[in-house]
């Protein structure tokens, strides 16, 4: 009997010891993104570094616990992302999960975060499904989404005279979302969609698709794809003389893409984005620090990586705990003001509302300094840029 009590006491002691260790152990932030494939430059290793910078600048500690950043490459595979997220939450007691680029992987991570009740901030994924039909109480969609791209970029194109649209769409969650959202905007503005073609992700040759687009007699070839796919398609469009008969526009173009295409080839292109490095002094300061290390300018996603991490840590500090529900409710009550966005708020569906911008690529003559590519055309407030509560299919928004 005595022996049993002893064992029980020891077990209890060990148990409580483990519990204290968990509360005093490091606060772990896990970041899963494309580290090596076609989206690695717009987010990737540099994005991971931004999260580490944010942690460093915060002092490396929150609630007197050290902060640890874990990173992983999801290789654009949803199952890889999901199993990594699960592993970290189960064995590392992850406090926050951050998702980088690629919609499929982020939708999978949102599912895991919901099941395990952990905050999940999606930065680089485009699909508006994250805060629409697939919304969860634990997802925050931070930077942009396909609805905003369609409303800000698509709107400007239709009003600029592009009435007949043809889509060149990447064949996965993001491309499908973007095409659907842009179609809604085109139709609402009296335009028509005359056709579309879906291409595999990371396609090397676009000439066949472009030839089909040319046969459609549309005014505009809208590319619902991203990164290397957009660059290769634009390049081929120019080579095959498509740019002479129709306007070619990318619905999601990052500054790295403009750099790759070359300012001479991209001149006049209209780009919807959530942030640009040369928009104000705070942004330029951040950009300079980034440039000194990477010899290129940060993308809006890399800026958002930094901003999201900092704001999460502020929320933890304010809530006095890493408990998911308390941190989430603190985040929902905050106003976000930093170099990335002004007066940002998080809506019940998880959508971060902040200004979106429409930029136009400068001509080679206007571009004075390296990476000086954009001029501002319009600033669209978050309430107008993103899904409105009336349009939303998210149950969390319905009262």
Partner 1 sequence: MEIFGIPHQAFLGQLMLGLVNGAFYAMLSLGLAVIFGLLDIVNFAHGALYMVGAFAAWIMLDKWGVGYWWALLLAPLLVGAFGVVIERLLLKRLYGLDPLYGLLLTFGLALILEGAFRKEYGVSGQSYSVPEALAGATNLGFMILPNYRAWVVVASVAVCLATWFIIERTRLGAYLRAGTENAKLVQAFGVNVPLMVSLTYGAGAALAGLAGVLAAPVIQVTPLMGSNLIIVVFAVVVIGGMGSILGSVITGLGLGIVEGFTRVFYPEASNIVVFVIMAIVLMLRPAGLFGKEA
Interface residue list for partner 1 (CB under 8 A):
36-42, 44, 171, 197-200, 202-205, 207-209, 211-212, 215, 227-228, 231-232, 235-236, 239-241, 256-257, 259-262, 265, 296
Q: Cβ(99)–Cβ(361) under 8 Å?
A: no
How near is the Cβ of 41 to partner 1 at its closest, in Å?
A: 4
Q: How far is the CB of 40 from partner 1 (least distance, A)?
A: 5
CB of 248 to partner 1, least distance (A): 15
Whole-number Å distance between alpha carbons of 210 and 62: 52
Buried b (16+ CB within 10 A) or exposed e, 346-362: bbbbbbbbbbbbbbbbb
212 versus 279: smaller Cβ distance to partner 1: 212
Q: What share of the chain is helix, strand, coil (3-state, %, to 5)?
A: 45, 20, 35
Of the pair 15, 268, the CB lying nearest partner 1 is at 268
Closer CB to partner 1, 161 or 241, in the complex: 241
Distance CA 50, CA 36 (A): 17
Nearer residue to partner 1 within complex by CB, 26 or 45: 45
Nearer to partner 1, 37 or 139 (CB): 37
Which DSSP letter does residue 93 get?
-
CB of 273 vs partner 1, minimal distance in Å: 16
Nearest residue (CB) to partner 1, 37 versus 136 = 37
Neighbour order of strands in the sheet with 27-33: 61-62, 65-73, 27-33, 96-99, 120-122, 139-141
CB of residue 230 vs partner 1: minimum separation in angstroms?
Answer: 10
Residue 389: phi and psi, rounded to 5, are -55, -35
The nearer residue to partner 1, 24 or 363, going by C-beta atoms, is 363
In the complex, minimum distance from the CB of residue 108 to partner 1, in angstroms, rounded to a whole number = 21
Least Å distance, CB 255 to partner 1, is 10
* In the complex, least distance from residue 260 CB atom to partner 1, rounded to whole angstroms: 4
Q: Which is nearer to partner 1, 148 or 168 (CB)?
A: 168
**Crossing angle of helices 300-319/44-58, nearest 10°?**
30
Least Cα distance to 78 among 125, 45, 36, 43 occurs for 125
Task: List all residues 6 or more positions away from 59 whose beta carbon is below 8 Å from its beta carbon.
Answer: none
Place of tokens 């840590």: 313
Q: How many CB atoms are located within 10 Å of the residue 124 CB? A: 30
> Of 257, 128, 143, 266, which is closest to residue 185 (Cα–Cα)?
128
């Amino acid at each position: 009997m005595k022996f049993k009590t002893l064992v029980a006491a020891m077990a209890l002691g060990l148990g409580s010891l483990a519990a204290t260790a968990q509360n005093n152990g490091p606060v772990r932030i896990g970041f899963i993104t494309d580290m090596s494939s076609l989206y690695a430059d717009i987010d990737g290793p540099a994005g991971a570094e931004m999260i580490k910078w944010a942690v460093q600048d915060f002092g490396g500690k929150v609630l007197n616990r050290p902060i640890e950043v874990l990173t992983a490459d999801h290789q654009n595979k949803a199952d890889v992302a999901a199993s990594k997220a699960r592993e970290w939450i189960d064995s590392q007691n992850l406090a926050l999960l951050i998702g980088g680029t690629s919609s499929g992987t982020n939708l999978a991570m949102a599912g895991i975060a919901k099941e395990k009740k952990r905050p999940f901030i999606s930065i680089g994924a485009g699909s508006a499904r994250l805060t629409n039909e697939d919304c969860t109480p634990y997802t925050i969609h931070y930077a942009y989404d396909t609805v905003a791209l369609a409303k800000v970029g698509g709107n400007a194109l239709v009003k600029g005279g592009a009435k007949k649209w043809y889509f060149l769409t990447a064949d996965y969650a993001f491309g499908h979302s973007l095409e659907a959202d842009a179609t809604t905007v085109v139709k609402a503005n009296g335009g028509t969609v005359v056709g579309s073609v879906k291409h595999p992700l990371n396609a090397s040759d676009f000439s066949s698709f472009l030839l089909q687009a040319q046969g459609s007699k549309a005014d505009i070839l809208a590319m619902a794809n991203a990164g290397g796919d957009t660059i290769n398609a634009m390049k081929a469009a120019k080579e095959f003389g498509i740019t002479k008969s129709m306007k070619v526009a990318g619905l999601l173009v990052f500054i790295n893409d403009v750099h790759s295409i070359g300012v001479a080839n991209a001149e006049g292109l209209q780009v919807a984005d959530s942030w640009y490095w040369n928009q104000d002094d705070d942004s330029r300061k951040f950009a300079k620090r980034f440039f000194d290390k990477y010899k290129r300018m940060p993308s809006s996603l890399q800026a958002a990586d930094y901003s999201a991490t900092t704001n999460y840590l502020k929320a933890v500090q304010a809530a006095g705990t890493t408990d998911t529900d308390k941190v989430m409710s603190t985040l929902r009550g905050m106003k976000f003001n930093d170099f990335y966005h002004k007066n940002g708020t998080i809506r019940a569906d998880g959508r971060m509302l902040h200004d979106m911008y429409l930029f136009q690529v400068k001509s080679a003559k206007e571009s004075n300094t390296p990476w000086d590519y954009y001029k501002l055309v319009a600033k669209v407030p978050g309430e107008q840029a993103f899904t409105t509560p009336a349009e939303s299919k998210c149950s969390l928004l319905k009262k």
